[in-house]
Structure 1
Amino acid sequence: MNIVADELFDKENSQEYLLSIQISLGGFSFIVVSVKENRLLAWKNTPLTITSVQFLQKRFQEWLDMEEVPKKTYQKIHLIFDTREFVPVPEKYYEEQESKKLVESVFELSNSEIEISENQVNVHDLRLLFTLPKDFKGYLSEQFPDSEIFHPLTICIENLPQISADRNGLIILFSSGYFYLVLFREQKLLLANSYNLSHKNDIIFYTLSTTKQYHFSPTKTDVFIAGDIYGGEETILEIKKYFISTQELKPAKNIEINTEIFKTQEYSLYNLLNSVL
């Protein structure tokens, strides 16, 4: 698709804007936000089918070579790297070398090929460790030297929606070929995990089995959905058969969006919009 831009977007004033880029096996996307106006100015999504993380750098380089907007100079740049290879580590158990060895052993990785990044999640007193191909991380650092790299779950669990103390919370965050489940109660994180996705029945099965494991009653659980929802409205209706209180997960910060120009749902831009906080 072509870039979608607000009439106020001025490429020559990019140093006043914030750029957020999402990188995944399902393709690449970016938004540009005016910090001063708190307004979405530009958005572009390039869906791709990338079969392995080994090919990410090559495909990203090809994509970036064809894009003008991400190569501009910005006030701030955030990169969102979507990977299933992540481990949340409570701060009290965190020790840099041992924690990184844990990630390597869990996913049977070679430290000569991968780099382990980490995000500090202060609100839950934990660190989220995740993997990137070592060469790709070096390339990203060269192209965006002052950028910060986030895992999408970092953004999600730092901004859990407010719910009543007597309710359970469940977030379903969709990605390409899988989805994340985040369970919380009284604003405390209980679980963050990912699950394979090839049919909408996968969503129902894993959601019901996981909530049962944590003794979440469907009638006392508020479900929030975000990302590029597999199956669209049909999937939302299916989830509502089991969890009546199901709604779209909106970004934690209200960003002005001209809906006549940006004809997409906020929940599909959740990661990108939340990353500008």
Structure 2
Amino acid sequence: MVTTTKEKQFNKKLSIQVSLNGLSFCILDQKDNRITYFKKIDFEKQLDPIKVLSKIELTYEKEEALNQPVDEVFLLYTNSLFSLVPEKLFDEDNASNYLKFNTKILKTDFIAFDNIKDSIVNVYIPYTNITNYFFDKYGEFEYRHSLSVLIEALLELQDNSEGTRVYLHSHLSSYELVIIENGKLLFANSFEFETKEDFLYYLLFTAEQLKLDPDSFELILLGDITKDSEEYKMAWDYIRNISFLGPFHSFSFETDHIPEYELSEYLLLKSL
């Protein structure tokens, strides 16, 4: 879906990240390159799309800043309801076929897709009730799957670079693993975990399947993970080269709207 083409009047862009585990909102004043509003809401447990919509409606009732005029709206869906397909093999008329083997598809589900770098198509299921809510509120806007944004940002970061880098973008109970080899996408998938042992297992198993030596590849962390995280401490015992992603944006922030940990909002900020 394409953003509205009306002439800008307010120079403001609203970016929203939606998952079944939480919400994030961010408003950028494009004239000053300044974040004027930021709000993150973590749910106590994973919700269904109907309850998530109720949370969104409640947030709009409570947060006056979200009701100000904006020029551009970008919606980011974070879920595991996706499949990556080589562009040359993709058939839009049969998009649901790429998802039926790894997720349950209902007759009422709408299938969307993002064309991303390296001739890849990300086929996914957005939450139709939430899309319709924002369409009613803002009119036409753009939405994408968060993995599409993550892959494109990391490919741009590693464009024409040699070697293998493993990027792990962590959430509270899941993570995306993106592996780039010599500037090209080698692997991308998401994994849910309950324990730090699960966290490490999926990482090492993937490395083993791709014949990557934990003593050789570089693991770069971003998202909801810090040096104090148990997952980080365990990975440190098994992987030689671990680091956190460095500075990735040029925005400034209003004093009362600074994320506690900027890397946890990597996707939201990269969507601006």
Inter-partner Cα distance in structure 2 for 1:163 and 1:204:
28
Counterpart of 1:61 in structure 2 is: 57
Maintained 8 Å contact 1:226/1:268: yes
Deviation string 1:14-57 (CA, Å, 9 cap, x unpaired) is: 92221111111222111122212222222111111333334322
Maintained 8 Å contact 2:216/2:240: no
RMSD: 2.6
> Which residue identity does 1:275 align to in structure 2?
S
Identity %: 23
**2:104 aligned with 1:108:** yes
Inter-partner Cα distance in structure 1 for 2:128 and 2:40:
25
Counterpart of 1:127 in structure 2 is: 121
> Which residue identity does 1:208 align to in structure 2?
L
Maintained 8 Å contact 2:85/2:121: yes
Counterpart of 1:179 in structure 2 is: 175
SS of alignment partner, residue 219 of structure 1: coil
List aligned pairs for 1:31-46, cutoff 5 A. 31-46=26-41
Maintained 8 Å contact 2:34/2:253: yes
Counterpart of 1:155 in structure 2 is: 149
Residues 99, 251 of structure 1: alpha-carbon distance in 2 compared, 3 angstrom cutoff: farther
Inter-partner Cα distance in structure 2 for 1:108 and 1:261:
38
Deviation at 1:250, TM superposition (A): 4.5
Residues 149, 251 of structure 1: alpha-carbon distance in 2 compared, 3 angstrom cutoff: farther
Counterpart of 2:25 in structure 1 is: 30
Maintained 8 Å contact 2:50/2:129: no
Inter-partner Cα distance in structure 2 for 1:233 and 1:215:
27
Maintained 8 Å contact 1:167/1:220: no
Inter-partner Cα distance in structure 2 for 1:188 and 1:152:
19
Counterpart of 1:99 in structure 2 is: 95
SS of alignment partner, residue 191 of structure 1: strand
Counterpart of 2:79 in structure 1 is: 83
Maintained 8 Å contact 1:183/1:189: yes
SS of alignment partner, residue 36 of structure 1: coil
Inter-partner Cα distance in structure 2 for 1:263 and 1:71:
21
Number of matched pairs: 262
Maintained 8 Å contact 2:118/2:185: yes
SS of alignment partner, residue 15 of structure 1: coil
SS of alignment partner, residue 220 of structure 1: coil
SS of alignment partner, residue 105 of structure 2: coil
Inter-partner Cα distance in structure 1 for 2:250 and 2:63:
28
List aligned pairs for 1:1-277, cutoff 5 A. 15-48=10-43, 49-112=45-108, 114-121=109-116, 123-160=117-154, 161-162=157-158, 165-229=161-225, 232-250=228-246, 252-257=248-253, 262=258, 264-276=260-272
> Which residue identity does 1:53 align to in structure 2?
P
Maintained 8 Å contact 1:250/1:270: no
Maintained 8 Å contact 2:82/2:124: yes
Counterpart of 2:4 in structure 1 is: none
Inter-partner Cα distance in structure 2 for 1:157 and 1:244:
24
Deviation string 1:205-246 (CA, Å, 9 cap, x unpaired) is: 110110111111223212121222288444323322222322
Counterpart of 2:5 in structure 1 is: none
Instruction: Please list every run of 5 or more consecutive structure 2 residues that lacks an aligned counterpart in the other structure.
Output: 1-7
Deviation at 1:183, TM superposition (A): 1.4
Deviation at 1:65, TM superposition (A): 2.6
Maintained 8 Å contact 1:18/1:75: yes
Residues 74, 261 of structure 1: alpha-carbon distance in 2 compared, 3 angstrom cutoff: closer
